[in-house]
């Protein structure tokens, strides 16, 4: 049978596979339905005819089995797998066992065999088991991949016959070895039934394997027949099982199903083993015939003459081209020796004989004089059926035209090799395909070397990246003529003129380029160019120095050096100038070609004495020409060493002289190779040296004048001092640049006259200036005055002027020349010093006021709180007491504001609400603002929490409100303070950066006169004010600006004259809990039974604090003198649990007393109180070991929690 993976089209297998499968399933349904009792089988054949039917059916089955064996065993097929042989041999055994079954079947004549039903059944079961096992093994082996060698078919045949012989012997003579298979009246035994079911199970297992491996077995032609056959075998088994319980009809149908199943098996084996090989053979013969026809057509289609001859040199086959070349029909050629046909020779070619002897290919050329044709003949040995080469294939190729072309190419090559130009044949990739002898001579390569190279290897002007553009240009124009350069093998580069010609051959583009060496032509052109450039150089240098302003002298000199170096082929050109009265020289100007190390930065302030030989010649105005540095005389040893250090091989130097005064020298260096300059060149360079010397002399003069002017201008700028000159007769006033800067005006904006000068004088100072001028002109008094200048930008500048009068011989004034000095900074410093002294005095006064005032407020707050604790909420007097407490709190905040204003307060930001601060500020301001000014607030949000110091925020509100009120104190008006929220879109802070979070917006607007636009940018400057003397310090808005920025906010102003001003303050909004206002009647005040020492020199404070603390349960000892208190403490340092002391006390202050007490009792907790002290604060108190720092004034609600907190910490530390 076919291999499992072989996929070829098979011949028709009979009925369609689906029809066979459907019929088999329908046939299987009959015994299944009968078994289930759903179908009753009718009587098909009378009982007395059953024996004859059984014999006929078994005989037919035996014949089919033998046919299956024959088709699978005898046909030769080396590729037939073991599965087919196994099935064929098994069916031989099945046929023999069926024959024995038939012979022992009851009904035959007894004389032949001893017949029993038991023996017949045993043979029948043996045949069924052999068939079922063979089917399973066949499918299993077909599904598995082929493995090694097959089992010999004779071995399989012997095994089958052995199986039959064993059963024949055992059943024929020893049937008692087998269990009973049938009992009269009882039917089949369990042994027979189990074997029948085993057979059915094997068939079902085979079906399952077929379905499971159907993808591997679908190529088997028998696959479509094996499946219905197995279904029929299963149905046959079921019928035989039903025969024991029914009529002979089941036995009859079982035999019929078996015969049909045998037929299907035979059909499959026939297809596999007979029809399929025949089908393959037909296909192979057809393919071979077609291949032969195609080969023959191909052989005849070849244009070269071809023929095949045998070992006797007789032609056995030729193509049409050979027949046409020979002028004969193919049948007239076949069988004749080839040397009698074409080519006509006296015998076989020597090359053919040699190739035949060696059984190898050969080749030779053959010229036929009669036809003038040259053939290239190839001999190729050919094998047919034997292992030896028995024939030779001759291929004749006409190369006559090729020979003629070769001769023409040789002529062309000869001609190109005898032209003077170098010739190159170049492809589109720039590779050489041909070079002539001239190319090899000029480039100094041999031909093989050049043919392995390309354009980029010999032409430095054509790197690879430029070649593609050049090729496209050549292809577009067809021919190009241009100049370039070529590089020899030894690296020498020479100029060439190239004529490039583009053409295409066989679809490919080529360039035939002719290159001519133009070195001599270039030399002649260079000589002419030098003569023309010689004249142009002198003209250009002269024009450049004459036309250039003196400021561009350095650039002009450098340009001249570059031109000279290029023109005279020098590697370095330079100028040295003398300094320090011609004792030193410096390289001031230099030009170097690429690759030459500059010296301009290295050679500075070199003493002339270091090079005496060279310096003497230059100072004596001699030209120094050194063609070879190595040839310098011994007295120039120092010069030689320096020249060699700079890698100079030759040099030429000219003295630079102006008015017989040596300025320095101009020179050229040759570094890369030595150079000798001609006399003509030296003469030209002498002219260049004179031109450079004149330009440098002019430059030095101009620089000296410019430096003097710059010194004067710089001195005036530093001193803020300008000079002026007034032509009194013509009334023309001339100012220096510094005066224009001081007055804040551009020269084009000032009409230069005395009257216009007066327009810039401050109106209040103008009369004094005019009087001073008159006194100087008329009374000859000194003109020296300080006055203010009103600038266009609104600013004021203080100046000091002084001048002298220039008169004629009669004493009449002609001119007045003077200076103006900006003294604004001096005036500002004077004002700041004065303001600082004022602020210092205010600070001292504020500190004293704060101490005394806080000591006064402390008993007020303590007594008020104690009375409030004893006063019911419904009592009439409670409201008055609360107002007293609020007034004390406002006084406490007022003291803090005074300290902040004098810079003695502390910045304590915490979450706070701006609405209450605005309301408190309005209450405070209402009494200080004139009654003709309305004061209102608009609180538009309750989310008004910011991180700020309430006192400083109150100061911002007060300063802005007071500033607005001062702008309306005469006519009155309306001030509105509004508070709202604002997103950060489009906001810009004072620093120019956009804010990053949500803001709380407070706007203070008024209906006053507004602020002029010209002074609006300066309103936040310290000390800037537009108020009269004594009306303001210029610090109010500056303080506001500083406080707002310190709190991370921004402040902007919008104002329009006549319509009022609006200040907008933006403060970052914060979340969290704002600190509440103190509760005037706290629900609980912590107390205790500890012993306290209270020390304060103010008896009122002691009398206020002591009762309050006693009321809280503490046991108090009070002292109004620190020294007395210290003496009591020394008597028993462990008597007191806590000491509360004031700081500022006569004799010994609180901190000193605390230090002494802590020395005696280190664990003693001390609370330090102060109305104000510049000496100590909370931080320094902690460093002294003081437990708590409490500023005055304070109430019982402030001090009680602090006492309890300090004592609790102390008690906890003692336990630990």
How confident is the model over 112-168, as pLDDT tens digits? 455 567 777 888 888 888 888 887 887 777 777 766 566 777 788 888 888 888 888
For residue 1136, what pLDDT is reported? 92
- Is it the case that residue 991 has pLDDT exceeding 60? no
- pLDDT of residue 366 exceeding 60, the answer is yes
Is residue 993 pLDDT above 50, yes or no?
no
Distance CA 875, CA 83 (A): 124
Compute the average pLDDT of residues 1082-1102: 83
pLDDT at 970: 75
Residue 7 pLDDT grade (very low, low, confident, very high; cuts 50, 70, 90): very low
pLDDT, position 990: 38
Q: How many CA atoms lie within 13 A of 964 on its CB side?
A: 28
Is pLDDT of 1212 > 60?
no
Per-residue pLDDT of 858-907, as tens digits, reads 788 778 877 777 788 778 777 777 777 777 776 776 666 566 555 444 55
Place of tokens 């004259």: 1057
In this predicted structure, which of 198-212, 771-785, 807-821 has the lowest mean pLDDT? 198-212
- 780, pLDDT greater than 80: yes
Residue appearing with tokens 């040995």 = 381
Min mean pLDDT across 5-14, 702-711, 780-789 is at 5-14
pLDDT of residue 633: 92
Residue 10 has pLDDT above 70, yes or no: no
Who contacts 891 (Cβ-Cβ below 8 Å, separation ≥6)? Answer: 853, 857
Q: Average pLDDT of 310-332?
A: 88
pLDDT band at 290 (very low <50, low <70, confident <90, very high): confident
pLDDT tens-digit readout, 782-835: 999 999 998 877 778 899 999 999 998 888 998 999 999 888 888 777 766 765
Banded model confidence at residue 244, pLDDT cuts 50, 70, 90: low
More confident residue, 849 or 1097: 1097
Q: Which CATH class is domain 403-517?
A: alpha beta
Higher pLDDT, 266 or 1096: 1096
Give which of 1134, 1120, 1141 is closest to 1090, Cα–Cα.
1134
pLDDT surpassing 50 at residue 1077: no
pLDDT at 484 over 80: yes
Same fold, 302-398 and 529-703: yes
Q: Which among 1117, 1096, 1114 is positioned nearest to 1194, based on CA atoms?
A: 1096
- Quick one: average pLDDT of 531-545? 72
Task: Judge whether residue 1173 has pLDDT over 70.
Answer: no
Q: Render pLDDT for 850-860 as a digit per residue (tens, 0 to 9).
A: 667 777 777 88
What pLDDT is stored for residue 589 in this prediction?
92
Domain ranges of the chain: 17-268, 302-398, 403-517, 529-703, 717-831, 871-1068, 1091-1215
pLDDT value of residue 5:
40
Instruction: Fold for 302-398, please state it.
Output: Beta-Lactamase (3.30.450)
Predicted confidence at residue 246, as pLDDT, reads 43
Confirm or reject CATH 3.30.450.40 for domain 529-703, answering yes or no.
yes
Q: What is the pTM of this model?
A: 0.33
Would you say the C-alpha torsion 609, 611, 614, 618 has a positive or negative sign? negative
Q: Report, in angstroms and rounded to the nearest whole number, the Rg of the chain calculated over CA atoms.
A: 66
Each residue of 277-286: pLDDT tens digit? Answer: 677 777 878 8
What is each CA distance from 489 to 176, 416, 638, in whole angstroms? 112, 22, 43
- 453 pLDDT more than 50: yes
Q: What pLDDT shows up at residue 1?
A: 37
Q: Does residue 988 carry a pLDDT above 50?
A: no
Q: What is the DSSP string of 146-215?
A: P-SSPPPHHHHHHHHHHHHHHHHHHHHH-GGGSPP-EETTTEE-HHHHHHHHHHHHHHHHHHHHHHHTHH
The larger pLDDT score, comparing residue 249 to residue 942, is at 942
Would you say residue 1067 has pLDDT above 70?
A: yes
Half-sphere exposure for 600 (CA within 13 Å, toward CB)? 13
**Domain 17-268 belongs in CATH node 1.20.1070:** yes
381-385, 452-456, 684-688: least confidently modelled range: 381-385
User: In the predicted model, is pLDDT for residue 996 greater than 60?
Assistant: no
**Least-confidence region, from 271-275, 916-920, 1076-1080:** 1076-1080
CATH number, domain 1091-1215, options 3.30.360.10, 3.40.50.2300, 3.50.50.60, 3.40.250.10: 3.40.50.2300
Per-residue pLDDT, 501 = 93
Helix (H) or strand (E) segment spanning residue 739: helix 737-743
Domain 871-1068 CATH assignment equals 3.30.565.10: yes
Q: pLDDT higher for 688 or 218?
A: 688
In this prediction, residues 988-1011 reach a mean pLDDT of 70
Most confident range (mean pLDDT) of 541-550, 558-567, 965-974 is 558-567
Among the listed residues 1132, 1125, 1138, 1135, the one whose alpha carbon sits nearest the alpha carbon of residue 1088: 1138
pLDDT tens digits for range 613-657: 999 999 998 999 999 999 899 999 998 999 999 999 999 999 999
- In this predicted model, which residue has the larger pLDDT, 14 or 578? 578
Highest mean pLDDT among 537-546, 703-712, 936-945: 936-945
pLDDT exceeding 90 applies to what percent of the chain?
17
Q: Which of 1195, 1143, 1148, 1198 is nearest to 1173 (CA)?
A: 1143
% residues pLDDT > 70 (the chain): 82
* pLDDT of amino acid 3: 40
pLDDT tier for residue 966 given thresholds of 50, 70 and 90 = confident
Report the run of H or E that residue 1167 belongs to, with start and end: strand 1166-1170
- Residue 405, pLDDT score: 81
Task: Give residue-wise pLDDT tens across range 599-615.
Answer: 888 888 899 889 999 99
**Is pLDDT of 1066 > 90?**
yes
Q: What is the CATH number of domain 717-831?
A: 3.30.450.20
Q: What is the mean pLDDT of residues 343-368?
A: 81
∠ Cα 192 198 202 (to 5°): 150
What integer pLDDT is reported at residue 1079 of this predicted model?
46
DSSP code for 1171: S
What average pLDDT does the chain have? 80
Would you place residue 243 in the very low, low, confident or very high pLDDT band (cuts 50, 70, 90)?
low
Does residue 273 surpass a pLDDT of 70?
Answer: no
Q: What is the pLDDT of residue 986?
A: 44
Q: Which residue carries 């679908």 as its tokens?
A: 218
Pick from 68, 63, 24: which is nearest to 236 by CA? 24
Q: Quick one: average pLDDT of 408-434? A: 87
Could you tell me the CA-to-CA distances from 944 to 219, 984, 986, 1073 in Å, in that order? Answer: 91, 16, 21, 11
Q: Span 22-30, mean pLDDT?
A: 73
Higher pLDDT, 582 or 46: 582
Most confident of 14-23, 259-268, 1175-1184: 1175-1184
Q: Is the pLDDT of residue 181 over 90?
A: no
Work out the angle at residue 893's Cα, subtended by the Cα atoms of residues 891 and 897, and round it to the nearest 5 degrees.
115
Residue 1215 has pLDDT above 60, yes or no: no
């Amino acid at each position: 049978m076919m291999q499992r993976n072989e996929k070829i089209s098979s011949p028709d297998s009979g009925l369609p596979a689906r029809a066979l499968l459907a019929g088999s399933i329908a046939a299987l349904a009959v015994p299944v339905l009968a078994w289930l009792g759903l179908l009753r089988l009718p009587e098909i054949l009378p009982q007395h005819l059953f024996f004859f039917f059984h014999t006929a059916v078994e005989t037919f089955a035996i014949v089919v089995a033998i046919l299956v064996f024959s088709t699978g065993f005898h046909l030769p097929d080396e590729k037939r797998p073991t599965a087919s042989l196994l099935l064929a041999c098994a069916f031989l055994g099945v046929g023999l066992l069926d024959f024995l079954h038939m012979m022992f079947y009851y009904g035959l004549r007894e004389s032949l065999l001893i017949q029993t039903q038991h023996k017949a059944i045993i043979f029948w079961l043996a045949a069924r088991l052999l068939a079922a096992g063979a089917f399973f093994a066949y499918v299993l082996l077909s599904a598995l991949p082929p493995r090694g060698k097959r089992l010999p078919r004779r071995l399989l045949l012997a095994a089958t016959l052995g199986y039959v012989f064993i059963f024949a012997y055992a059943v024929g003579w020893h049937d008692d070895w087998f269990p009973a298979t049938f009992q009269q009246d009882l039917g089949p035994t369990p042994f027979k039934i189990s074997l029948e079911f085993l057979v059915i199970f094997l068939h079902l297992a085979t079906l399952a394997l077929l379905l499971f491996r159907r993808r591997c077995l679908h190529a088997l032609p028998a696959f479509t027949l094996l499946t219905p056959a197995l279904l029929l075998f299963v149905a046959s088994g079921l019928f035989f099982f039903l025969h024991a319980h029914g009529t002979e009809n089941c036995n009859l149908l079982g035999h019929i199903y078996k015969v049909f199943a045998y037929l299907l098996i035979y059909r499959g084996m026939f297809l596999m083993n007979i029809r399929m090989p025949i089908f393959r053979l037909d296909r192979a013969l057809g393919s071979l015939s077609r291949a032969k026809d195609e080969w023959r057509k191909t052989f005849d289609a070849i244009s070269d003459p071809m023929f095949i001859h045998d070992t006797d040199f007789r032609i056995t086959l030729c193509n049409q081209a050979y027949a046409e070349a020979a002028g004969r029909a193919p049948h007239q050629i076949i069988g004749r020796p080839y040397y009698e046909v074409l080519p006509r020779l006296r015998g076989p070619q020597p090359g053919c004989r040699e190739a035949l002897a060696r059984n190898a290919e050969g080749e030779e050329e053959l010229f036929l004089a009669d036809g003038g044709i040259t053939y290239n003949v190839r001999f190729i040995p050919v094998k047919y059926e034997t292992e030896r080469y028995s024939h030779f294939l001759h291929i004749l190729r006409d190369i006559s035209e090729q020979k003629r072309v070769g001769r023409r190419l040789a002529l062309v090559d000869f001609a190109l090799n005898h032209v003077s130009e170098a010739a190159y044949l170049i492809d589109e990739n720039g590779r050489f395909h041909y070079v002539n002898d001239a190319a090899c001579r000029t480039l100094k390569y041999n031909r093989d070397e050049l043919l392995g190279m390309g354009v980029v290897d010999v032409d430095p002007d054509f790197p690879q990246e430029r070649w593609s553009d050049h090729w496209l240009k050549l292809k577009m124009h067809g021919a190009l003529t241009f100049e370039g350069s070529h590089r020899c093998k030894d690296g020498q580069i020479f100029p060439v003129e190239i004529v490039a010609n583009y053409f295409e051959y066989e679809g490919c583009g080529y360039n035939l380029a002719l290159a001519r060496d133009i070195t001599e032509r270039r030399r002649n052109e260079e000589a002419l160019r030098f003569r023309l450039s010689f004249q142009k150089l002198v003209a250009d240098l002269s024009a450049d120095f004459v036309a250039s302003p003196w400021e561009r002298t350095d650039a002009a000199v450098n340009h001249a050096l570059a031109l000279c170096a290029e023109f005279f082929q020098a590697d370095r050109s330079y100028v040295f100038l003398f300094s320090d009265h011609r004792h030193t020289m410096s390289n001031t100007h230099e030009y170097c070609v690429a690759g030459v190390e500059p010296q301009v930065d290295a050679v500075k302030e070199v003493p002339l004495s270091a090079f005496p030989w060279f310096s003497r010649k230059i100072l004596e105005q001699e030209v120094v020409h050194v063609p070879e540095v190595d040839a310098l005389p011994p007295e120039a040893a120092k010069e030689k060493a320096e020249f060699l250090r700079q890698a100079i091989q030759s040099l030429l130097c000219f003295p630079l002289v102006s008015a017989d005064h040596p300025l320095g020298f101009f020179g050229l260096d040759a570094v890369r190779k030595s150079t000798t300059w001609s006399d003509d060149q030296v003469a030209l360079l002498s002219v260049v040296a004179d031109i450079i010397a004149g330009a440098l002399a002019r430059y030095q003069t101009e620089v000296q004048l410019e430096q003097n002017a710059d010194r004067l201008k710089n001195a005036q700028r530093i001193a803020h001092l300008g000079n002026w000159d007034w032509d009194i007769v013509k009334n023309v006033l001339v100012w220096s640049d510094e005066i224009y800067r001081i007055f804040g005006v551009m020269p084009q904006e000032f009409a230069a006259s005395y009257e216009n000068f007066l327009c810039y004088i401050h109106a209040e100072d103008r009369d004094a200036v005019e009087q001073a001028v008159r006194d100087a002109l008329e009374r000859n008094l000194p003109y020296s005055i300080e006055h203010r200048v009103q600038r266009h930008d609104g600013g004021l500048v203080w100046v000091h002027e002084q001048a002298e009068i220039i008169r004629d011989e009669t004493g009449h004034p002609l001119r007045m020349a003077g200076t103006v000095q900006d003294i604004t900074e001096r005036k500002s410093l004077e004002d700041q010093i004065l303001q600082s002294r004022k602020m210092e005095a205010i600070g001292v006064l504020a500190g004293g006021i704060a101490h005394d005032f806080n000591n006064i407020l402390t008993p007020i707050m303590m007594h008020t709180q104690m009375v409030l604790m004893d006063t019911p909420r419904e009592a009439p007097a409670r409201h008055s007491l609360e107002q007293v407490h609020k007034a004390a709190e406002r006084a406490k905040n007022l003291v803090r504001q005074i300290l902040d204003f004098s810079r003695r307060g502390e910045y304590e930001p915490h979450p706070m609400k701006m609405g209450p601060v605005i309301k408190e500020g309005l209450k405070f301001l209402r009494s200080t603002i004139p009654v003709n000014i309305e004061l209102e607030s608009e609180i538009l949000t309750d989310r008004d929490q910011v991180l700020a110091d309430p006192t400083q925020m109150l100061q911002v509100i007060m300063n802005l409100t007071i500033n607005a009120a001062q702008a309306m104190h005469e006519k009155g008006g309306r001030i509105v303070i509004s508070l709202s929220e604002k997103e950060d879109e489009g906001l810009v802070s004072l620093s120019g950066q956009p804010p990053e979070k949500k803001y709380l917006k407070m706007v203070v607007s008024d209906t006053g006169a507004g602020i002029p636009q010209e002074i609006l940018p300066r309103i936040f400057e310290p000390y800037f004010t537009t108020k009269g003397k004594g009306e303001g310090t210029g610090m109010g808005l500056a303080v506001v600006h500083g406080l707002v920025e310190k709190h991370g906010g921004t402040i902007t102003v919008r104002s329009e004259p006549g319509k009022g001003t609006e200040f907008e303050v933006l403060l970052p909004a914060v979340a969290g809990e704002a600190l509440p206002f103190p509760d005037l009647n706290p629900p609980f005040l912590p107390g205790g039974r500890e012993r306290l020492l209270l020390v304060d020199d103010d008896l009122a404070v002691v009398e206020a604090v002591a009762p309050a603390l006693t009321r809280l349960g503490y046991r108090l000892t009070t002292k109004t003198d620190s020294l007395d208190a210290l003496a009591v403490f020394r008597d028993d340092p462990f008597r007191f649990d806590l000491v509360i002391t004031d700081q500022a006390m006569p004799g010994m202050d609180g901190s000193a007393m605390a230090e002494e007490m802590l020395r005696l009792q280190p664990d003693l907790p001390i609370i330090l109180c102060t109305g104000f002290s510049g000496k100590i604060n909370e931080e320094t108190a902690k460093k002294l070991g003081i437990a708590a720092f409490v500023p005055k004034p304070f109430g019982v609600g402030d001090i009680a929690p602090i006492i309890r907190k300090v004592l609790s910490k102390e008690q906890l530390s003692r336990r630990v």
